Amino acid sequence: MILISAEEIAKHNTYQDCWIIIYDKVYNLSKFLPEHPGGVGVILEQAGKDATLAFSTIHSQEMIHRYLPSDACLGFVDPATVAETSKVEERRREAIKNRPSLNEILHLYDFEAVASRILTTETWSFYNCAAGDEISYRDNHYAFLRIWLRPRIMRDVTHIDMSTKILGYYSSFPLYISATALGKLGHPLGEVVLTRAAHSHGIIQMIPNFASCSLDEMTIARKEGQIQFFQLYINKNRDISRKVIQEAQEKGYKALVVTVDVPSVGNREKDVRMKYTGAPPGIQNEKDLNRDQGASRVLASFIDPSLNWNDIKWIRSITSMPIIIKGVLTPEDAILAAEYGCDGIVLSNHGGRQLDFAPSAIEVLPNVIEGLKKSGLLGKIEVYIDGGIRRGSDIFKAIALGAKAVGIGRPLLYAMSSYGQAGVERALQILKDEFETVMRLSGTNMIADICPNMIDSKSLSNHSLTPKDYLSSNVYDRLVPLRSKL
């Protein structure tokens, strides 16, 4: 058995000379590199290093033998020369090894259950956290349970067309990938995994301002014709925001999604208990950061609480990208957004992560649509919602109540963290299949058929009428009080 030192392996870290470690074996990938279907960049990021984690979240072990000639394996990494793998990393590897196979995953709650075992406590706490008692977080899901369907029969549902347009751009079904921060905490390749899955499914990705990947990485990962929107928090330093907006426009992002519901960060207790050790994206004054209270507070310290409607005029003056306001929860603000010339609004309580007891987007949707209609503004602005989407029926209910499309965030992070791109693609396929089934069994052939009389939403605002839901409550990670060690 040939043993190679970690120090030696680290020297082979270039395009011409690229070695990596996978499952303790050392491979020379220099010849294979240009042929890698996932691109050269993802392998080069791992060159000279242990790529087991990056590899295992995307590929099965047998792929090595299928794609690499036997002489690519140079030997084993000498364990005596490797910095001891931390217990955390070991546990993570073990969880990945023992995860169910992807075809056993049947619904989005399965991804959540798997991710809760694979992610580190810090990452799980950041991804999963919500504000206060997490009442809004839970009601984002429960609200959908208060809406029932009114299926019509005998309508020839042989052909179903789920496609729609979002700001005029094609989408294979009325769902887009919402912006979620710090993708590399969940997967070594970060947000580009979502970019690739969005492309395979023909849907739009909203790129997060606080992405772990650089704007360039995400732009390069975009395929010809693929549509991405850019999500932005307005920085206390407007020059920074101006530059980011202009760069986003130059790099071909098709809309600017200004998130307005974080004048200060919500009280996210799961996250607050954690110390954030990572590198916050795009941060200048590292020394001013207080890392003792989770990732959220670190990120929030750059957002400008003085943001107000006049800033929309400023943003309008520096970009020709359509503007979407994310974080609207009342008809009054929806009307203001339309009057200020915005092109779209996302009804959202930020996944329940900001103001606990803020209503769910689906609950306010009917009032917002009615308010816009009464003011003659409904045709001027598109309305999207996010929060709590877990089933195809949730998408159907939102469309019936007047949403143009829905956004989905956390479940795709869970899918990505557990199974990489294949996981995200499967999650999207599950939602598509479920949505198609609901359309067919409800007697609707196309999106325009899904109208308010296809559902019964009279209990939507009656919070005491939520049915018990065992799947979601079984994966829900409860907030627990501190216990003494005695």
Q: Residue numbers of the site for ligand PPY (CB under 6 A)?
A: 181, 210, 262, 265, 296, 299-300, 303, 350, 353
Nearer to ligand PPY among residue 222 and residue 353 (C-beta): 353
Q: Tell me how far, at minimum, the Cβ of 181 lies from ligand PPY, in Å.
A: 4
Q: Tell me how far, at minimum, the Cβ of 157 lies from ligand PPY, in Å.
A: 38
Q: Tell me how far, at minimum, the Cβ of 479 lies from ligand PPY, in Å.
A: 17
Q: Tell me how far, at minimum, the Cβ of 153 lies from ligand PPY, in Å.
A: 42
| Given the residues 50, 139, 261, 343, the one annotated as active site | 261
Nearer to ligand PPY among residue 260 and residue 364 (C-beta): 260
CA dist 205 to 151, 365, 394, 409, 477, Å? 31, 22, 19, 10, 27
Q: How far apart are CA 31 and CA 140, in angstroms?
A: 50
Nearer to ligand PPY among residue 27 and residue 210 (C-beta): 210
Which of helix, strand or coil describes residue 220? helix
Sign of CA dihedral 64, 65, 70, 74: positive
DSSP codes joined into one string, 294-334:
HHHHHHHTTB-TT--HHHHHHHHHH--S-EEEEEE-SHHHH
- Residues forming beta bridges with residue 326, ordered by sequence position: 259, 346
Q: What is the DSSP letter of 484?
A: -
| Given the residues 350, 356, 384, 449, the one annotated as active site | 350
Nearer to ligand PPY among residue 206 and residue 364 (C-beta): 206
**Is 411 in contact with 111 (CB distance < 8 Å)?**
yes
Single-letter code of the amino acid located at 460: L
The neighbour count for residue 458, using CB atoms within 10 Å, is 11
Q: How far apart are CA 53 and CA 93, in angstroms?
A: 7
Phi, psi of 290 (to 5 degrees): -100, 110
Q: Tell me how far, at minimum, the Cβ of 261 lies from ligand PPY, in Å.
A: 9
- Is 261 assigned a catalytic role? yes
- Is 233 assigned a catalytic role? yes
Structure tokens at 233: 């928090």
Nearer to ligand PPY among residue 300 and residue 355 (C-beta): 300
Nearer to ligand PPY among residue 99 and residue 350 (C-beta): 350
**Is 476 in contact with 138 (CB distance < 8 Å)?**
yes
- Is 350 assigned a catalytic role? yes
Q: How far apart are CA 276 and CA 290, in angstroms?
A: 9
Q: Tell me how far, at minimum, the Cβ of 197 lies from ligand PPY, in Å.
A: 20
- Taking the CA atoms of residue 349, residue 353, residue 356 and residue 361 in that order, the dihedral angle to the nearest 10 degrees is 20
| Given the residues 109, 137, 176, 233, the one annotated as active site | 233
Active site residues: 233, 261, 350
